[in-house]
Structure 1
Amino acid sequence: MDKEHSAAVKKVFVELYQQGYIYRGDYIVNWCPRCGTALSDIEVEYEEIRGKLYYIRYPFRNTKEYLVVATTRPETMLGDTAVAVNPKDERFKKLKGKKLILPLLERELPIIFDEYVDS
C-alpha cells in the first residue's frame, strides 16, 4: 500500500477507535486459515454438527486420583499447557495449587481458575 493510502487507513482507524467502534477486549476472533485474516461474526455461518465427546483422564501428580476432562478435539491435548476450571464451581475448590500430568507426555500442568470457564 502506498504512503497516501496507508495514512488514510491509519487516520480512519484512529477515528473509529476514538469513537468506540474499534476496541480491545477478551473475545474469540474468527479466523480464516485459507485467507489468513480475521472474519466478522456476521460473515461466519454456524452449523451444528453431531459429534463425539471424548473423556480423558488427567492424573494428579503422585496419586492414583485423576480429573476427567471432556473435549470434542482430543488431538489438541498434546498442546495443553494448563487445565482451567471455574472458581465458583464447588467441585473444583479443593484443586487449588494441585498439578495434573498430561497423559502420553508426562508433562506437569497447573490447574488455573477463571470465571470464563463454564460451570
Structure 2
Amino acid sequence: MLLLLLYVQCFTMDEQRSKAVTEAFVRLYKDGLIYRVHRLVNWDCTLRTAIFDIEVDHEDLKGETPLEVPGYRSPVQFGVLISFAYPLEEGLGEIIVATTWIETMLGDTAIAVHPQDGRYKHLHGKYALHPFNGRKLKIICDAELVDPSFGTGAVKITPAHDPNDFKVGERHNLEFINIFTDDGKINEMGGS
C-alpha cells in the first residue's frame, strides 16, 4: 500500500487564516469571553516590546540600594526617598509628598492621604496644582495605599506608571497619563 502524505506550507498571516483568526476573536468578544482593557506592562525601551512578568527580576528594596543597570557604567542608586511640595489651590499653602520615583511626577493625577490622618483632614477633596503644567491634582483618601507613618504621609499618584498607583487610579476613577515614548524619553504629555 502506498501512503501519500500531503504537506501544505502556508503563511500564518495569509488572507484565509487571518480572516479565521479575526472571526474567532470577534465571536469570543461578542460572547463576553475576551475583552479589551488598559493594563500596565513591563516595557523594554531597547527591544521596544513588552516583557512577560516571569522575565523581570522584581526586588523589594530596603532603603537606598545601588544596582547595576544595562547601559550604565556605574551602579544606579534606587530607593532614595525624595520629598517635594505641590502648591495647593485657594492659597491653602502646599502639600509635601515623598516618593522614590520622582521622574514619574510629570504624569501625576492625584495625591493620596490616609483618611484618618489628622494632618490632612482639611485637604480632603481639595486640589493641588502641578507646578509644570497646571494640571489639577485631586487630594484623595486611600487607606489601602497610604501608610501615614511613612515619608510625609502624602503620596503622589501616577496611575499609568506604577502598579500600586494603577490600582488607586481604578478605585478613584483617575486619569491615566503616559509620559514616556516607546524608547523611554519624555513625550508631549510630560511637558515641553
| In structure 2, C-alpha distance between the alignment counterparts of 1:106 and 1:32, rounded to whole Å | 28
Preserved CA contact (<8 Å) 1:99 1:108: no
Question: 1:89 pairs with 108, 115, 120, which one?
Answer: 115
8 Å CA contact 1:84, 1:117 repeated in 2: no
Work out the CA distance in 1 between the residues paired with 2:139 and 2:25: 36
- Alignment partner for residue 69 of structure 1, among 82, 87, 97? 97
Q: In the alignment, which of 64, 70, 84 is matched to residue 56 of structure 1?
A: 84
Q: Cα RMSD (Å) of the superposition?
A: 3.5
Q: Does 1:118 align with 2:145?
A: yes
* Residues 9, 40 of structure 1: alpha-carbon distance in 2 compared, 3 angstrom cutoff: farther
Per-residue deviation, 1:58 = 1.0
> Kindly tell me: are residues 116 and 59 of structure 1, through their superposed partners in 2, closer, same or farther at Cα, counting changes over 3 Å?
same
Q: How many residues align?
A: 115
Q: Residues 24 and 73 from structure 1, CA distance in 2 versus in 1: closer, same or farther, beyond 3 angstroms?
A: same
Tell me, yes or no, if the aligned pair for 2:112 and 2:141 is still in contact at 8 Å: yes
Alignment equivalent of 1:107, drawn from 121, 130, 134 = 134
The 2-side partners of 1:42 and 1:19 are apart by: 28
Cα deviations by residue, 1:52-92 (Å, 9 ceiling, x for unpaired): 11111112124363211112232332x24522326x62235
Deviations 1:29-73 (A, max 9, x none): 222223333232222222455221111111212436321111223
Contact 2:82 2:102 in 1 (8 A): yes
Question: What displacement does 1:118 show?
Answer: 0.5
- Aligned pair 1:30/2:42, yes or no? yes
The structure having more radius of gyration, on CA atoms, is 2
Identity %: 33
- Show structure 1 runs of 5+ residues with no match: none
1:94/1:9 CA distance change after superposition, 3 Å: farther
The structure richer in strand per residue is 1
